Amino acid sequence: MIEVRGLVKRFGDTTVLNGIDLTIQRGERIVVIGPSGTGKSTLLRCLNFLDRADAGTVRIGDLTVDVARASRAEILALRRRTAFVFQNYALFANRTARGNITEALVTVKGMSKAAAGARADAILGDIGLLERADAYPASLSGGQQQRVGIGRALAIEAELLLFDEPTSALDPEWVGEVLDLMRRIAEQRQTMLIVTHEMQFAREIADRVLFMEGGAIVEQGPPAELFDGPRDPRTQAFLRRVK
């Protein structure tokens, strides 16, 4: 179980996260929606300390961290229980597709090169890129890069998968293959926290949808409830705009 309490993040005078409380059950698939600049990405980035929150606690499994006082070792331990999929893929430019997947297995998890390579090939097979295993990111399409990005996140078997607008930087022609892959991951009941603007996708795979605005969770519920009968006027206004 993952539990976030009172998470606050400020950039200068601007409060981007205004005391977020969130509990995520094991295997739960949560989609976060909301207007741009409301702290959706920041919430994800604070959960694995890409951005450091100013106050609050984050608990993943039996590890609880007070973000304001977290030591370097605690941050590292927490990060190793999460995996992150970036909007811009952020593949290691000096590693092949296979190398991107084996990198953390070898350096972080201490697997042997052979075992890591075998795991990577299995994942590359899963994401349909085994024949591109030796290609460097620069020679892969956007969709292929993001699939490798997702493969890299899957490989470390984290307790929580974080997806930060994984299809927003993609040309429209590549969006489908990435969403398909995410659907398959969702079917395996991985714990997922996804920020996306793909409303149809959210409706299909989410157990719960959070609507965020102004650094707070305004409303949340099962997709059918939130999309078809939003109660808060801000949710209603947002959904009208995106339809």
Partner 1 sequence: MGALDLDYMLGLVPVLLRYLPLTLAMAAGAMVLALVLAVALAMIRVLRVPVLDQLVQGFVSFFRGTPLLVQLFLFYYGLPQIIPAFSAINGVQAAVAGLTLHFSAYMAESIRAAILGVDRSQWEATQAVGMTQLQAMRRIILPQAARVAAPTLLNYFIDMIKSTSLAFTLGVTEMMGAAQKEAASSFRYFEAFLLVAIFYWTVVETLSIVQRRLETRMNKAFAR
Positions in the binding site for partner 1 (CB under 8 A) = 48-50, 76, 79-80, 82-84, 86, 88, 90-95, 103-104, 107-108, 136, 138-139, 152, 156
**64 versus 88: smaller Cβ distance to partner 1:** 88
**156 versus 178: smaller Cβ distance to partner 1:** 156
**148 versus 217: smaller Cβ distance to partner 1:** 148
**25 versus 94: smaller Cβ distance to partner 1:** 94
Assign 3-class secondary structure to 102-149.
HHHHHHCCCCCHHHHHHHHHHHHHHCCCHHHCCCCHHHCCHHHHHHHH
β-pairing verdict for 29-33 and 192-195: parallel
CB of 29 to partner 1, least distance (A): 20
CB of 123 to partner 1, least distance (A): 14
Is the Cα dihedral 125, 126, 128, 133 positive or negative?
negative
Structure-block tokens of residue 222:
């099962």
146 Cβ contact partners less than 8 Å away, ≥ 6 residues apart: 85, 89, 166, 167, 170, 174, 178
**84 versus 201: smaller Cβ distance to partner 1:** 84
Distance CA 9, CA 33 (A): 18
Distance CA 65, CA 82 (A): 14
Q: Of 203, 201, 221, nearest to 211 (Cα)?
A: 221
**32 versus 140: smaller Cβ distance to partner 1:** 140
CB of 90 to partner 1, least distance (A): 4
**103 versus 219: smaller Cβ distance to partner 1:** 103
CB of 205 to partner 1, least distance (A): 22
Beta bridge partners of 84: 162
CB of 84 to partner 1, least distance (A): 4
CB of 204 to partner 1, least distance (A): 26
CB of 96 to partner 1, least distance (A): 8
Q: Of 211, 158, 209, 201, nearest to 178 (Cα)?
A: 201
Please report which helix (H) or strand (E) contains residue 195, including its range: strand 192-195
